[in-house]
Chain A
Amino acid sequence: MSAEVTVTIDGREIAVPAGTLVIRAAEMLDIYIPRFCDHPALAPHGACRQCMVEVEGQRKPLTACTTPVTQGMAVRTQHTSEMAREAQRGVLEMLLINHPLDCPVCDKGGECPLQDQTLAFGPGASRFAGEKRRYPKPVRISPLILLDRERCVLCARCTRFSSEISGDRFIALFERGALQQVAAYEDEPYESPFSGNIVQICPVGALTAEPFRFRARPFDLTSTPSVCTLCASGCRTIVQTRRGEVARILASEDPEVNEEWICDKGRFSFPRAQRPDRATEPLVRKDGELVAVSWAEAAALVAERVGSARERGAPIGVLSGGRLADEDAYALSRFARGVLGTADVDSRSWTADGEEDAVFASMLGSPGATYSDIEVSPLVLLLGCDPREESPILHLRLRKALNRRGSALFEVGPRATALAREPGARSILCSPGTEAGVLLSVAWLLVNPFGLPVDDATKEGLSSPGRAALRDASGVADEPVLALAEALRAAGGRAVILAGERLSRSPGALAVAWNLACALGARFGHVPRRGGFRGELWAGLHPRLLPGGRRVEDPAARAEVERVWGASLPPVAGRCARAILSEAGSLGALFLVGADPASDFAGFGASAVEAAPFVVAQDLFLTESSRRADVVLPARGPAERAGTSTDWEGRAAEFEAAVAPAGLSLADRDILAMLSGALGEAFPTRTRDLRAEMRVLERSPQAPAAVGAPTPALPEPDGLRPFSLVTYPLLLDAGTMLAGSGALLEIARRACVEMHPGDAAALGVSPGDPVRVASAMGEIVGPARLSAGLARGSVFVPANQEGLRALALVDPFAPVTAVRVERA
């Protein structure tokens, strides 16, 4: 397979793996062969014919993009062959006969391969004297994407991207001959969270994006390499600015991470920075109103109130929300524990008990799964995560593994993800909260018939009576459990187990998943929803963890941190976010740094923020929480400050500031340094000092170790509310980071109440009927949507869609919220 062959291109020799295409081999020699349809990430297509080269012994020129090299092949490109030059000239002339001469008004002008190649190789004038094809323009194939068909060179990159990469075949080529054209279905709109990529790979100006159309010329833009922090995928991007404002965001290339794709959320949500509710100056509540003050006044007020709370010994709560850069997260952890002396620190917006910290502590100190592991793994077990909605680039990589590498995927959870439709994927639907039971059954099979050696804690969990009961409650048959166990056994250490943050809603499940990975020697990855979460976790924004995944209870670990900080740390574990919020009234102060509990915890969070006697909010926006705060400190947004971001793999990437900060906003780390100063405490004031400390606190990697598993608990049946609520935010929702994103929000999915057809029939509900979902916290009414990809007895409502916010239903005190469902 990987035998090497030697090929000569333009007289230069190179050895490449057999099967390499001529065009790729030429690239390795830095010989550029012009092309339009060829794209390294897409299957060879051979349509545009621009890359024709002369191959010795062949009568006709061959396309470099479809011809694999063979031993001893001699290739001559346009640089050395008249035949190749002539063929390429002919194709370019033909591509231009139907192409309009509208470069001066075309958005692609300045970065257009057709324009560039015409300039380099094309004729000065056309011999075509006939009639060009004309179309009404533009066609709006989605709210975001516009198509000018007369500019299209029919390279099919966009349609191939849709079928090969993103897997949403909403665009296709229609018609024949010169009338062939890209089209979307009349009755099904082009709905894809990856649609912006087709604009970026279009080699002409046929596809343009609404947010950029006619806004700027590419050559007037300033580019800054950056990292998208809207989710934990870690995509490399290029932020392009004009006159200090973001004009466009492009996908940048990193074969290890996002390859060359980003999702539409990352690409098109930048207009939020210019929103009117952006916090641009420090605000202090005076007579019930937030009024603008100087930084000095705001800092003095915070110092005074926090100082007196400290003196009284009143607890101080510090919450972050998974949105901070690593340096800001670290500064916040240092500020909370070292300066404020509190242990009540948390970054999670979900309810979780004891097992998480043990798993996270071991995970942060050991090598975990990567994108590359996923791509070559024969088996991925996906738990508590819907990648298309929560980590879109992970979705693409999993899709690639399934479609191109023939991997297998098992997912266990109450709702099938979009990956379940892919070849080799299998969805094991279980009742919400019973994942632990299914996983324990899998472990049981692996240990008993298959003889997998496991640690004592796992063994203990396996023999607990809770396992069988939970397994019964899951509603899962024996066959899929056995199939999963067999697949894991066969894959062994080459398996990858991915757990999302929602797996914690089934107590014990995360620990079993982790222990399974340890026992198999498989790679494990934790996929949080928010981009800053991994960095915040590392920084110790967790009630039981110190920087680097050190345990609070471990005196030696504590001493290491104390040495660096020059402060003594509380030796006790703090409270989790939910516990802090439930006793907000007794807090001395509540710090919200990029945290919005009034949204994440809905009514419960809002009351807590109201109840807290003194609330300091560091945020980009006046959110549901920060508008209730006593002091609002404006923070800098993603493109406005430099920093580091760590993706779900634990891979860190630095980025630079791309635009000027909004108003008087400061980076979170600088705000915290200012507040420390006001409190009379020393604090690093430079990013590089923070980074130096972080490096000192980095632990050397250790082998992942199994953790003790809590006894799984059976969800209490609720006679009045027999259904279980499944809810999580979709990629495009009514969230803070998306508001004001214009056309992007038009492709957000409409809210609905999703239920199993069997349950719907029992309740007399037809698709589209209004359905009432009521929990102990509240009720909502939405249109029904039936889906067999949902466990019986469950109902799915997206957490935060416009007009239907399931967050309002969520019971913060129960892992799974019981609901009543009826036709409204």
Chain B
Amino acid sequence: MKAAQTRVLTARWGDRGSHTIAASLASGGYEALRKALATPPAAVTEMVKVAGLRGRGGAGFPTGVKWGFIKRDEPPTYLVCNADEGEPGTFKDRELMERDPHQLIEGMVIASWAIGAAESYVYCRGEFAFAARRVERAISEAYERGTLGRNIFGSGFDHDVILHRGAGAYICGEETALLESLEGRRGQPRVRPPFPAQEGLYARPTVINNVETISCVPHIVANGPEWFRKFGTEKSPGTKIFSVSGDVERPGNYEVPFGTPARVLIEELAGGITGGRKLKAYTPGGASSTPVFGASKLDVNMDWESVQAAGSLLGTGAMMVFADDACVVRAMERFMRFYARESCGKCTPCREGTYWLAQIMRRLEAGQGRDEDLDLMMDVQANIGGRSFCALGDFATAPVISVAKEFVDEARLHIRNKGCPFER
């Protein structure tokens, strides 16, 4: 292996019993919390702002700015940790929760101190039974050791963390749908405005942060924003965990500084394409990154700006890798089916559009497509993107755009061949 990871968030992953509070405390866990509680909340928020921490859930919104929206002196306010990691190909939050849940809890208490929240929630994806158990156990350990509950570290700050498990809907990763679900209703996105920072959980000011985002917070507080900015790029500071999967030798989560080339992640860290085949395509950020990259984009640096400049989106950093004998049309048809199933059904373009596109892509993949289907697909997706209620609809256009932009020849081959040209 030529390249090595930069272990910040994943530093404890190799340790035995890394998920326990004993291991956490032995390696400096909760020291950042002690420091934060001795720091004025506004200064903590400022630290996160200066560090340039950006949301790891996909949108990359500056975290400190988000916290700054909250009127701290009008309680109650809430922090919600979005652990509904549903983006296809993404599995970093799961491992963060399974291997180092105390890092997350510490980050949540610090964030709650900054925004004045007496309660915070972990909204955990329903399928993550093991991760949920680990977090649950970590919460009770934290209460036992006094790093949660009343008067934490004698600071006078009280805080409770509540774990809530979702019921397995992709839409609940959308923050307002998540809040609906958390309040006990159907997970469907809310009308904005009001934004969660004004009226979020139980109509109170609420911050919603991703697991990985919150896990960065203790490190920023412990080492200072300048230290954090040493990693990554000017506009994408820090490290990022990339979930690499698919046709690679060593699929898994790899933590590297932002700006690391995709080639390093795929060819070096993940060990390259299996069976000596060649790379055909990869998603830079899960199924929702538009469009997938072909082999020519292997040297794109993995940070928000570079991926966007190359024409796609960094998203969650889920790199699904396809070798040259994989059928991209088929892969995209799977993605499309995923969106059709996971569309919450609230708005017309997403609900009906994905239903329609899934049918078109199915016949295309099965070799029953027509020449005009490619144009029709592009026309239908144009009526979804930018017109749906929430971002799910925008993301749902990704498979179509991927086919049309990067792999249109492969699609035409399906039509001409009246079937899939690939064996696999």
Contact = CB atoms under 8 A, between A and B. Distances in A.
Given A50-B348, A94-B349, A97-B352, A87 B383 contact: yes
Interface residues of A, number: 38
A411 to B, nearest CB: 27
B341 to A, nearest CB: 6
Contacts of B354: 177-178
Interface in A80-95: 87, 90-91, 93-95
Contact of B343 (A43, A68, A130, A176): A176
Interface in A140-162: 153-154, 156
Contacts of B159: none
Interface stretch (B205-213, B301-309, B385-393): B385-393
A351 B171 CA distance: 61
B395 to A, nearest CB: 14
Main SS of chain B's interface residues?
helix
A45 B359 CA distance: 28
Interface in B324-367: 340-349, 351-356, 359-360, 363
B401 interface: no
Interface in B372-409: 376, 380, 382-383, 386-389
B389 A178 contact: no
Contacts of A47: 346-348, 389
B341 A94 contact: no
B127 to A, nearest CB: 16
A799 to B, nearest CB: 38
B150 interface: no
Interface residues of B, number: 33
Contacts of B353: 94
Nearest to B350: A177
Main SS of chain A's interface residues?
loop
Nearest to A178: B355
A180 interface: yes
Contacts of A177: 340-345, 351, 354-355
Contact of B340 (A127, A153, A178): A178
Nearest to A36: B348
Contacts of A94: 348-349, 352-353, 356, 380, 383
B26 interface: no
A258 interface: no
Interface stretch (A58-66, A187-195, A808-816): A58-66
B145 interface: no
B374 to A, nearest CB: 13
Contact of A91 (B171, B340, B383): B383
B3 interface: no
B115 interface: no
Contacts of A49: 347-349, 387-389
Contacts of A178: 340, 343, 345, 351-352, 354-355
A46 B191 contact: yes
B269 interface: no
A98 B352 contact: yes
Nearest to A60: B386
A175 interface: yes
B186 interface: yes
A179 interface: yes
A128 B383 contact: no
B317 to A, nearest CB: 26
Nearest to A155: B348
Contacts of B356: 94, 97, 128, 130
A325 to B, nearest CB: 46
B415 interface: no
Nearest to A172: B186
Across chains A and B, which 3 residue pairs bring their CB atoms closest together, nearest first?
A180-B345, A90-B383, A130-B359
26 contacts: A43-B191, A47-B348, A47-B389, A49-B349, A49-B387, A49-B389, A60-B387, A87-B387, A90-B382, A91-B348, A91-B349, A93-B383, A94-B352, A95-B352, A128-B356, A131-B359, A154-B348, A172-B186, A175-B345, A176-B171, A176-B344, A176-B345, A178-B345, A178-B354, A179-B345, A180-B344
Interface of B: 169, 171, 186, 188, 191, 193, 340-349, 351-356, 359-360, 363, 376, 380, 382-383, 386-389
Given A43-B191, A154-B346, 18 more contacts: A45-B191, A46-B347, A48-B347, A49-B348, A90-B383, A90-B387, A91-B383, A94-B356, A97-B356, A130-B359, A156-B346, A173-B188, A176-B344, A178-B345, A178-B351, A178-B354, A180-B345, A180-B346
